[in-house]
Chains A and B, each alone.
Chain A
Amino acid sequence: MEDFNWKEYLKDSFISMLWFSLLLFPMLVMKITVKGGMADVTYRWGYLVVIPVSAFILSALWKYFRERQQGGDKADKRGEIAALFRRTFIENRTVKKVSIISAILIMAFYPVFSGMYNTNVMISALIYIMLGLGLNIVLGLGGMLHLGHAAFFAVGAYTYGLFFKYAGQFFVDAGISTGWMFWIALPAGGIMAAVFGVLLSLPVLRLRGDYLAIVTLAFGEIMRMVLQNWGNVTGGATGISLIPRPWLFGINVTPRLAAVYIYYIVFAFVIISIITVSRLENSRIGRAWEAMREDEIACQSMGIDLVRNKLTAFILGSVWAGVAGVLFASQTTYINPDSFTIWESILILCIVVLGGTGSISGVILGALIIKLLPEYMRAFAQYRLLVFGLALVLMMIFRPGGIIKKVRKIYRFPLDEENDAAAEGQN
């Protein structure tokens, strides 16, 4: 604290106060409306107080945190405390077990003690957990910045939607419940997504990281435009409605019960996803993916076939999104292209990056924050993209690993344990 240079802080803050007042004046203070060819500008003078004050404070905070980040020994001390915290709480086996079990219990009984609205909100959060975990394979493990994830979500949803639209009558005529269609669509959606994944990966897999991002983005937009404009097949902007809910022993259930039913189906899929990702992560395949993310050239030189491993990561991620799409269609019973825009892809990106790239619990937390916060804080909802955008920037600068950083598996060897014991004996 003795070297706290308040003069410099004051100077910097004062400059940014002036600078941001100027910068934001036209955007925040002025407001334009155009009526009948004539522009009408109104002024919101209140901002002239808000901007300088917040610029002053934020600038000081920015400087403080940047300096702390760069500072050496102080940071080490904090690192120690953080490590201690991690050891006692996060890496502690009992704590981990207890929290996992209680989380599963809460989630398992969630629809029982919450209303239909809350159940539906939670279903969509769970679907986004699946989407996040799928993207986590591609981005978190494989290191490929995939900005077209929503397109595969769409492939799944539309597989179900179109299947219903064109084959539904057949099921009705044959006297089979249309609810069965869900169970056929589920694998079909995954397979279709895989097919599209292969198609996209042909051009994509040879590309460098940033080109891959832009091509996947382009793919997502093309997909959305096709859905939007190919009206007589896809239903165009109005989409497809009255998609049947999953079959439940032929019972014609109330919407509330249907929501509960779908909740459990989605919940089961989330559990499966978690197990899948965590098992893959600690297998030879997951290690190859991570090596590929860390350094492609070294990875190849260690005998790993880059194209093949990228392909599996990409396809697996796509399949996950496809299955999530089918679940989504069955929950909302109504789909249109608006649910699958580039912003949806970017939201899924936010889930992974903000939650914790590569970390399963991080992705879960990310999905809950991003889907539930705007839902339950209505006032916040309109600012969500603004906030998430800013959060992406700040996260990259101050905490690139995300809120919950990935914890690496610890391997124990007999000799190690002897060493540890010896070391502890000395203390």
Chain B
Amino acid sequence: MDYFLKLLLSGTAKGSIYALIALGYTMVYGIIKLINFAHGEIYMIGAFVALLVGGTLQSAGVNPAVILVVSTLAAVFFAAAYGLTMEKIAYKPLRTAPRLSVLISAIGMSMFLQNLVLLSQTEKYLSFPSFLPEFLFLKPIRGYINSTQFIILIITSIVMVLLTLLIKFTLIGKAMRATSQDREMAQLVGININSVITVTFIIGSATAAIGGILICSYMGQINYYIGFIAGIKAFVAAVLGGIGSIPGAVLGSFVLGWTESLGTGYISSDYEDSFAFIILILILTVKPSGILGRKENQKV
């Protein structure tokens, strides 16, 4: 029972990180119907920027709390900037192109960014210093949940709530929902599609960067390739929950986190990464619209 609870908690922590990345996927998919392959790279770049900025400040002997705040802000800013630029270069010119072309462009972007970091930084795993504080009050239950996991849960919840508020109640949120429901109609009623897309990319990239910092602190290491695997897993989570649906992305992420955690705990840790893929194939065979997604009836 103890073991199970432990696995469940670590699965929850993992799931909440996937959720932060999956949100970007699902939002972008909702609006331009693109699997943004390069989304994982944005999250990797966010984490790298945090490491670079944090490392600089650390060697200058700055107070850890300041390091945490400044490096997070820098990561969020740069991730958003990369997301935005990527959209302008690789996706915007293809607005009217066939969907496969855009998808191929996304794959190209993913290759490019990954190798940009590989060549300009290093191919080795770097240890990622934990910028996150230790909480003393968690000491008694440390066997179940550590400070990092605790922070992950808290931050993810905050981001989720903010995002929900944004989408439900702000003007841009409404425009986003309208665009994802019917792009042409939204355009007709005067919504500027391009700015909606831009904002979507900015928000998605920023949340991904937060996810990047958290996961690297959790794992304690970083490398140019982390974005790819985590990106695919987050995508699986988004599909699992029903792509295009924000609560779906969160739910799917938790389900994936639990499955991985329990799977590695009870079955075999060799196949940790394959659980996501097996779930993906199963869900798409049985219910391609995901847990919370609605069945799409293509208009003819």
Are any A and B Cβ atoms less than 8 Å apart in their complex?
Answer: yes
SS class, residues of chain B in contact with chain A: helix
Residues of B within 8 A of A210 (CB): 33-35, 99-100, 103
Q: A210-B103, A392-B107 are in contact. Are A202 and B285 (CB under 8 A)?
A: yes
Closest to B298 in A: A297
Name the B residues within 8 Å of A385 (CB-CB).
Answer: 111, 114-115
Q: Which of these binds chain B: A27-35, A98-106, A173-181?
A: A27-35
In the complex, which of the residues B93, B111, B239, B300 contacts A388, with contact meaning CB atoms closer than 8 Å?
B111
A119 to B97, CA, bound (A): 41
Contacts A225-B274, A389-B112 given; does A39 touch B93 at CB 8 Å: no
Interface check B108, CB cutoff 8 A: yes
Type the 1/0 row for A69-103, where 1 means its CB is closer than 8 Å to any CB of B: 00000000000000000000000000000000000
The yes or no answer to B192 lying at the interface (CB within 8 A) is no
Q: Which of A362-395 contact B (CB under 8 A)?
A: 382-383, 385-386, 388-393, 395
- B42-54 Cβ-contact flags toward A at 8 Å (1 or 0): 0001001101111
Q: Which residues of B contact A395 (CB under 8 A)?
A: 108
A207–B49 Cα gap in the complex (Å)? 38
Q: How distant is the Cα of A197 from the Cα of B280 in the complex, in angstroms? A: 18
Q: Is the CB of A31 within 8 A of B280?
A: no
The CA of A211 and the CA of B285, in the complex, are separated in Å by: 11
**A217 near B: Cβ within 8 Å?**
yes
Contacts of B74 in A (CB 8 A): 26
Q: A386 and B280: CB pair below 8 A?
A: no
Interface set, chain B 56-115, CB cutoff 8 A to A: 56, 58-59, 74, 78, 81-82, 85, 89-90, 93-94, 97, 99-105, 107-115
Could you tell me if A396 and B94 are in contact, using CB atoms closer than 8 angstroms? yes
Are A38's CB and B59's CB within 8 A? yes
Interface string of A29-55 (1 = CB under 8 A from B): 011111001111100000000000000
**Minimum distance in angstroms from A34 CB to a CB of chain B:** 5
A373 to chain B, nearest CB (A): 15
Task: Check if B119 sits within 8 Å of A23, measured CB to CB.
Answer: no
Q: How far is the CB of A50 from chain B (nearest CB, A)?
A: 12
Stretch at the interface among B14-22, B122-130, B162-170, B202-210: B122-130
Given contacts A26-B78, A207-B284, A389-B110, contact A396 B119 (CB under 8 A): no
Residues of the A chain whose Cβ atoms lie less than 8 Å from the Cβ of B113? 389
CB distance from A370 to the nearest CB of B (A): 13
Contact with B along A211-223 (1 / 0, CB 8 A): 1011101110110
Tell which of A206, A229, A346 touches B107, judged by Cβ atoms closer than 8 Å: A346
Tell whether A391 pairs with B108 under 8 Å between CB atoms, given A41-B56, A66-B93.
yes
Residues of A within 8 A of B281 (CB): 203, 215, 218-219
Q: How far is the CB of B211 from chain A (nearest CB, A)?
A: 18
By the criterion CB–CB under 8 Å, are B278 and A400 in contact? no
A23-B82, A37-B127, A217-B232 as given contacts; A225 in contact with B108, CB under 8 Å: no
Say yes or no: A393 contacts B108, CB within 8 Å.
yes
Whether A386 lies near B284 (C-beta < 8 A) is no
Asked if B273 CB lies within 8 Å of chain A CBs, one says: yes
Q: Smallest CB-CB separation from B53: which chain A residue?
A: A26
Decide: B54 and A39 in contact? CB cutoff 8 A.
Answer: yes
Check A292 for interface membership: any CB of B closer than 8 A: no
Partner of B55, one of A27, A34, A225, A392: A34
Interface membership of A131, Cβ < 8 A: no
Encode contact with B along A10-28: 1 for CB under 8 Å, 0 otherwise. 0000000001001100111
Chain A residues contacting B300 (CB-CB under 8 Å) are 297
Chain A residues with CB under 8 A of B119? 382-383, 386
In the assembled complex, A115 has its CB within 8 A of some CB on chain B: no
Q: Is B277 in contact with chain A by the CB < 8 A criterion?
A: yes
**Beta-carbon contact of B111 and A215 below 8 Å:** no
Alpha-carbon distance A31/B123, docked complex (angstroms) = 12
Which A211-263 residues sit within 8 Å CB-CB of chain B? 211, 213-215, 217-219, 221-222, 225-226, 229
Number of B residues, CB within 8 Å of A:
68
Q: Which residue of A lies closest to B300 (CB)?
A: A297
B residues within 8 A CB of A168?
none
Known: A19-B85, A39-B59, A386-B119. A396 touches B285 (CB 8 A): no
Chain A residues lying within 8 Å of B108, measured Cβ to Cβ, are 388-393, 395-396
A383 to B119, CA, bound (A): 8
Q: Nearest B residue to A43 by beta-carbon distance?
A: B56
B288 at the interface (CB under 8 A from A): yes
Q: Which residue of B lies closest to A390 (CB)?
A: B112
- CB proximity of B109 to chain A, nearest CB, Å: 6
CB–CB A203/B52 < 8 A: no
Are A34 and B116 neighbours in the complex by a CB distance under 8 Å?
no
The chain B residue sitting closest to A30, CB to CB, is B52
Q: Among the listed B112, B232, B284, which residue makes an inter-chain contact with A211, where contact means beta carbons less than 8 Å apart?
A: B284
Q: Is the CB of B116 within 8 A of A27?
A: yes
- Shortest CB–CB separation between residue B288 and chain A, in angstroms? 6
Q: Report how far A215 CA is from B274 CA in the complex, Å.
A: 12
Neighbouring A residues of B273 by C-beta, 8 Å: 221, 225
28 A-B pairs in the complex with CB atoms less than 8 angstroms apart: A23-B78, A26-B48, A26-B53, A27-B45, A27-B116, A27-B120, A32-B48, A34-B51, A34-B129, A145-B100, A209-B100, A209-B103, A210-B33, A210-B35, A211-B288, A217-B232, A218-B236, A218-B277, A218-B278, A222-B278, A346-B107, A383-B119, A389-B111, A392-B105, A392-B107, A392-B108, A397-B93, A400-B101
B: which residues have CB within 8 A of A? 33-35, 45, 48-49, 51-56, 58-59, 74, 78, 81-82, 85, 89-90, 93-94, 97, 99-105, 107-117, 119-122, 126-129, 232, 235-236, 239, 270-271, 273-274, 276-278, 280-281, 284-285, 288, 298, 300
Known: A26-B48, A207-B288. 6 other contacts (CB 8 A): A23-B78, A27-B117, A37-B127, A215-B284, A229-B270, A229-B271
- 10 closest Cβ pairs, A-B complex: A39-B55, A392-B108, A389-B111, A389-B112, A218-B277, A203-B285, A386-B115, A393-B108, A229-B270, A396-B105
Residue positions of A touching B, CB distance < 8 A:
19, 22-23, 26-28, 30-34, 37-41, 66, 143, 145, 202-203, 206-211, 213-215, 217-219, 221-222, 225-226, 229, 297, 346, 349, 353, 382-383, 385-386, 388-393, 395-397, 400
